[in-house]
Amino acid sequence: MVGEVAGSGIAAAPMTKRAVGGAAIGNLLEWYDFSVYGYLAGTIGKLFFSATDATTQLLLSFSIFGVGFFMRPVGAIVIGHFGDKHGRKGALIFTVMAMALGTVLIGVLPTYQTAGLFAAVLLTLARLIQGFSAGGEWGGSTAFLVEYAPAGQRGFIGSFQQVTTVGGLVLGSLVAWLLSVAFTDQQMLDWAWRLPFLLGFVIAPVGIYLRSKVEETPKYAEIERKREVAKAPFLEMLESYPKETFIAFGFTLLWTVGFYIVLTYMPTYMRSQLNLPYAILVRDHAWPDPAGGADPGVRRSFRPDRATSAADRFLRAVRRRHLPDVLVHRRRAPVLGGGAEPAGLGDSARALRRRRARRDRRDLPHQRALRDLVDRLQHRGRDLRRICADDCDLPDPNHRQSRRA
């Protein structure tokens, strides 16, 4: 038995690994379908728009790419509402099917030479379908993973959503690179540009199959059994958490722009403006330094398991209130002793330290476990920030003397 599902009293089912794998793989395939358009935007611009200027064609092509983002909030609301009322499993199967529909539609569309402006209209419709599906996939897959996570691993299991999202973009860029190597520019314009979209339709049944073989999340099953399913989830969310909802929306909007500028638009920009070879460009964008000459420190720094596992432990300590005054300071900074204040702290942090210093110190429970936790956080590794704690916050005077020594 893996443990208890986070946020519920239900024991996690033996199929937790299968559920997480199904959700993660389906998410990877779905974001491949959504993002592969961006890597072929230049070719699509030449095929679907009559403008003779290459820059105008490229801008029009990316404007169609951006149309999909207007439907993502709509998809998040509609599919999220369905998932909250009828279960995550059905909602996630629907997102894969909708994304496959939009993808195959792009793959079989007639070009401007055949259908005129109607081709661009159909292309816009296909991107709207993809955007609607992507909006429901983002929140739905995250909720599915977190609700299936064993106790104490919500951060780690939930991180697979973001990792597989980037994996889908990497897969899309890899397919674009293989096409640019295998076919000439004329072949790409004639027929080869359709292959990535048809491939997305072919692999969609894999995601549907994996998601159909997992059970509903234990947390939702518990709520359904207790007859506590919300009647209007979206409206209840706006009524209970209006400020938090709009903050999360604005925060996501900001970082999504930077995400797609770097991972989707940048290869096209470097080709059109810097005249870099497309095959080498997309290959290096997806797989930096494939010969193995990259800085080993860069490869070591990509350890999501370390970061998310540390986050899970930190949250557990905060919930149990066994954590002393811990301040995140400069990287590789030593642990401070006595009453000295670390350089670089803001006024609010200094004021907090002074207020805590004036309070009467009380012994904390489980002092040995507390010291072990702080030591693990402070010596987690070179790739994470060191944690600075004033050892006068620890209640054991013998431990403070040993730390000073």
Domain extent listing, the chain: 16-290, 304-404
What distance lies between CA 21 and its chain's CA centroid? 15
In terms of Cα–Cα distance, which of 302, 26, 264, 303 is closest to 138? 26
Distance (Å, rounded) from C-alpha 72 to C-alpha 63? 15
- State the helix-helix crossing angle for 154-182 and 16-39, rounded to 10 degrees: 40
CB 180 within 8 A of CB 282: yes
Which residues are within 8 A (CB) of 163 and not within 5 positions of it... i.e. 6 or more apart?
Answer: 24, 304
Class of residue 296 by CB neighbours under 10 A (exposed 0-12, middle 13-18, buried 19+): exposed
List the structure tokens of 118: 């109607």
Q: How many CB atoms lie within 10 A of CB 80?
A: 21
Could you tell me the pTM of the whole model? 0.68
What distance lies between CA 1 and its chain's CA centroid? 28
What distance lies between CA 321 and its chain's CA centroid? 29
Class of domain 16-290: mainly alpha
Instruction: List the pLDDT tens digit at each of the 405 positions of the chain.
Output: 333 444 443 334 455 778 888 888 888 988 998 889 988 998 999 999 987 788 899 999 999 999 999 999 999 999 999 999 988 999 999 999 999 999 999 999 999 999 999 999 999 999 999 999 999 998 899 999 988 888 778 888 888 888 999 899 889 888 988 898 899 989 999 999 999 999 988 888 888 988 888 888 888 888 888 888 888 888 888 999 999 988 988 888 888 888 888 888 888 888 777 777 665 665 555 555 544 444 444 344 444 555 555 555 655 555 554 444 443 333 334 333 344 444 444 555 566 666 665 554 444 445 566 666 666 665 554 434 434 444 444 444 454 454 444
Which residues are within 8 A (CB) of 364 and not within 5 positions of it... i.e. 6 or more apart?
Answer: 322, 324, 370, 395
